[in-house]
Amino acid sequence: MSRFTPDNEAIAREIISRYPLPKSALIPLMHLAQEQDGWVTEDAMRHIAELTGTTPAEVRGTGTFYEMFKFHPVGKYVINICSNIACQLLGAENLLEHAEKKLGVKVGGTTADGLFTLEDVECIAACTEAPALQVNYRYRLRVTVEDFDQLIDDIRNGNARDIPEHGTLSLVRQSIPADRMAGIVPPEQAGEVPVWMSRNDAGEQN
């Protein structure tokens, strides 16, 4: 279970093709795995190791370095409340406390219905709009406790359509048409002076 589906394996191969060396795709592929299953499963890591010519230990070693990867199931909605300095100054602690009460879980916990996981996170780059939070990496800004309750209710009632399920980041994927690609090759095969570097003043080839 939880290796990439054939469709996702095709996407994975496309992602790999955009890097000179396959291992560079490790992080994007772990995101893809998380998009598929909501978290990064062991089988997915094995599959990623196969696809990138690494070992599962390397995949896990890289993955566990990064905060966003979950190695056990989490809620369908992961709520990240920023408690760093700018948000702290404008009431993040209050908001966190309220969120714990509202959801009935402590920071790090997942609600019994598997819907929400609550996290206390570092600065999410919305400091002037404090206190700020992200639900599955979609922003909510200047959040009051009332806003928070409304958000939870909206999600529960299916009224937060801008928020995809946990794991999905960008709704748009990069895709390079084959006929447009300049050519991505391993570094040792790209060792030549690019043609345009020998241009003259008029911007033309010498």
* Residues numbered 8-67 forming contacts with other proteins, rule: CB under 8 A: 18-21, 23-28, 30-31, 42, 45, 52, 54-67
Helix (H, G, I), strand (E, B) or coil at 192: coil
> Cβ of residue 3: shortest distance to other proteins, in angstroms?
15
166 forms part of the interface with other proteins (CB under 8 A): no
With tokens 């390397």, the residue in question is: 58
Q: According to the binding rule CB under 8 A, does residue 192 interact with other proteins? A: yes
CB 203: neighbour CB atoms within 10 A? 7
Question: What is 118-184 written as a DSSP string?
Answer: EEEES--S-GGG-S-EEETTEEE-S--HHHHHHHHHHHHTT--TT-PPTT---SS-----TTT----
- Which x/- pattern over 110-149 shows residues binding other proteins (rule: CB under 8 A)? ------------xxxxxxxxx---x-xxxx-x--------
Q: Which stretch binds other proteins (CB under 8 A): 3-11, 97-105, 145-153, 172-180?
A: 172-180
Contact status: 89 vs other proteins (CB under 8 A): yes
